[in-house]
Chains A and B, each alone.
Chain A
Amino acid sequence: MTPRRKRLWVVLGILAGVSASVALAVVAGRQDISFYYVPTQVALGKAPRDKDFRIGGLVMKGSVRRKPGDMTVHFVLTDYAHQVPVVYTGVLPDLFREGQGIIAHGQLGPNGVFVADEVLAKHDSKYMPPEIAAAVKKNAGIAGAAAAPSPRG
């Protein structure tokens, strides 16, 4: 083996070793690295109890309820499999609306209602001019059912 070839193998070996250890660490900490839990995980009891965590999902159509003169808003988060009701008092981000993906930070109450102290809007990777968005919406209405976006949203 020439010294050059030896150096090549040493460098590749170090890289492989580091990759393997990072991969193991990442697999072990999979949920800790994730930014939020989805409603299904909450329904299956995989989310922490008595501890703050984040929950992400789509704001269910027709679920947003506000009382006039009050900053408190009630809505339901869904991943199309399970639903979690959320209550939040405060200013909502601009992108918050029904059907939009959002991430709430807070605690799950004993009654199954998630009490949020922070709400972030999640933007998807789709970009569209307003006219096209309006046309897509109209066509989806005619077709009756639009393709359901993935729960990851």
Chain B
Amino acid sequence: MWRWFHRLASPPHLYRTAGALTPWFAFAAAILIGYGLVDGLAFAPPDYQQGDAFRIIYVHAPSAWLSLFGYTAMAVAGAIALIWRIKVGYAVAAAAAPIGASFTLSALVTGSLWGRPMWGTYWAWDPRLTSELILLFLYFGVISLRKAFEDPGRGDRASALLGIVGVVNVPIVHFSVYWWNSLHQGGTVMRLGKPEMPGSMLWPLLAMLAGFMCFFGAVLCVRVRAEILTRERQSTWVREVVAA
């Protein structure tokens, strides 16, 4: 196990592993999201208060979850690179950032569209909404800091450090609805105790969640490969790959 992990630190090995994993992730994502969308949008019963408007949860909740998961993954990759000087960590962090930022934007936009009819407003400076917006700005900071230096090595290190420090915001986003009075409701699935949802609504939601994870995995693999090729373009193995 440890050796398998260690070998991933070699760029050509990670390049090949990511390439082999991509179709599996993509296939699983297509199946799970396909089932989740059909069951969630067409067959799950409407909610007793929100009617059909509740169905936005099938995109909103997985997006929000992935926005936090993506950030944590990016920060861990950056920390591994920074502490153990494993260079591919920077490539993984760089590849993960725009995906996580997209999920954050998706969570904010879908939440806003739902908030207008349900709460009566598109936006409120509520702890959950504000901390999620800060998460988006952290992503933007991490992405732009990487490109703000002449020397790409310094950009990588600065960006990784900002990413690690920003991890402080991840539990704040998650627990904001419990620590403070907020407009946003508490967790329905990600909570202590039973999910506050019947199985007919829950199964498509869990499928969407797993599907979004696989989709993240597939896009990350593709992006990591592109990132490695760019970063290792001077090496002979990349020339061989490109020539082949």
Residues of A within 8 A of B (CB): 4, 7-8, 11, 14-15, 18-19, 22, 26, 30, 33-38, 56, 92-95, 103, 118-134, 152
* Complex contacts, B197 vs chain A, CB 8 Å: 126-128
CB <8 Å contact, B201 and A119: no
Distance A34 CA – B184 CA, assembled complex (angstroms): 11
User: Is chain B's binding surface mostly helix, strand, loop or mixed?
Assistant: loop
Distance A152 CA – B198 CA, assembled complex (angstroms): 23
Stretch at the interface among B3-11, B29-37, B79-87, B216-224: B79-87
Q: How many residues of B contact A (CB 8 A)?
A: 43
Residues of B within 8 A of A (CB): 45-50, 54, 57, 79, 82-85, 117-121, 124-127, 161, 164-165, 167-168, 172, 179-183, 185-188, 191, 196-198, 200-201
Distance A91 CA – B160 CA, assembled complex (angstroms): 48
CB <8 Å contact, B164 and A15: yes
CB <8 Å contact, A127 and B201: yes
CB <8 Å contact, B124 and A120: yes
* Complex contacts, A33 vs chain B, CB 8 Å: 127, 180
Least Cβ–Cβ distance between A115 and chain B, in angstroms: 18
* Complex contacts, B161 vs chain A, CB 8 Å: 11, 14
CB <8 Å contact, B198 and A15: no
CB <8 Å contact, A121 and B118: yes
CB <8 Å contact, A35 and B182: yes
Distance A19 CA – B168 CA, assembled complex (angstroms): 6
Least Cβ–Cβ distance between B163 and chain A, in angstroms: 11
* Complex contacts, B186 vs chain A, CB 8 Å: 124-125
Distance A46 CA – B198 CA, assembled complex (angstroms): 39
Distance A22 CA – B165 CA, assembled complex (angstroms): 11
Distance A120 CA – B124 CA, assembled complex (angstroms): 10
* Complex contacts, B84 vs chain A, CB 8 Å: 4
Least Cβ–Cβ distance between A68 and chain B, in angstroms: 23
CB <8 Å contact, B185 and A125: yes
Distance A94 CA – B51 CA, assembled complex (angstroms): 11
- For this complex, 22 residue pairs linking A to B, each with C-beta atoms less than 8 Å apart, are A4-B84, A11-B82, A15-B165, A15-B167, A22-B168, A26-B179, A34-B127, A35-B126, A35-B183, A93-B120, A95-B50, A125-B196, A127-B47, A127-B54, A127-B57, A127-B196, A128-B48, A129-B45, A129-B48, A130-B46, A132-B198, A133-B48
Least Cβ–Cβ distance between A90 and chain B, in angstroms: 10
Distance A33 CA – B127 CA, assembled complex (angstroms): 6
* Complex contacts, B82 vs chain A, CB 8 Å: 7, 11
CB <8 Å contact, A129 and B200: yes
Distance A18 CA – B126 CA, assembled complex (angstroms): 23
Decide yes or no: A93 and B48 within 8 Å by CB, A34-B127, A35-B126, A122-B185 being known contacts: no
Distance A79 CA – B185 CA, assembled complex (angstroms): 17
CB <8 Å contact, B188 and A125: yes
CB <8 Å contact, B187 and A125: yes
CB <8 Å contact, A11 and B83: yes
Chain B minimum-CB-distance residue to A30: B180
Chain B minimum-CB-distance residue to A32: B180
Least Cβ–Cβ distance between B187 and chain A, in angstroms: 6
CB <8 Å contact, B168 and A35: no
CB <8 Å contact, A123 and B164: no
Chain A minimum-CB-distance residue to B120: A93
Distance A128 CA – B79 CA, assembled complex (angstroms): 42
